[in-house]
Amino acid sequence: MSELNILINTIEAKLEALINKIDILEREKIELEKRLTLEIDEKKVINESLNQLKLNYDSLKYVNSLLGSEEHKRETKLKINSLIREIDHCISQLSK
């Protein structure tokens, strides 16, 4: 009977250790989920900032080409032609 008690005590100790390990892992999981959420939010902010910077860069390129820069004249002409096509399309839609 003594061996049975020892075996039961050993199993109880191991079970208690497993329960403690599960609690620790659950707390770590919650912390990692919080960190992941923060990282995702930070990534969104960085992407929005990057997109805004790209828009600013494109605007500066077009303005620079309008001011006489040879480097971006072709892009500016293409953009102007695209805008004219859009305006023509809008006018044709309005006249229907």
Q: Domain map of the chain by residue range?
A: 2-95
The pTM assigned to this predicted structure is 0.52
Residue 50 confidence class, pLDDT cut points 50, 70, 90: very high
d(CA 66, CA 77): 10
Residue 38 confidence class, pLDDT cut points 50, 70, 90: very high
Q: Can you tell me which residue has the tokens 């001011």?
A: 67
Mean pLDDT of the chain: 88
Asked whether residue 25 carries a pLDDT value surpassing 90, the answer given is yes
Asked whether residue 32 carries a pLDDT value surpassing 70, the answer given is yes
pLDDT at 23: 97
Pull the structure tokens for residue 52.
């805004």
Q: Model confidence over 64-96: pLDDT tens digits?
A: 766 666 666 677 778 888 999 999 999 988 887
d(CA 95, CA 89): 10
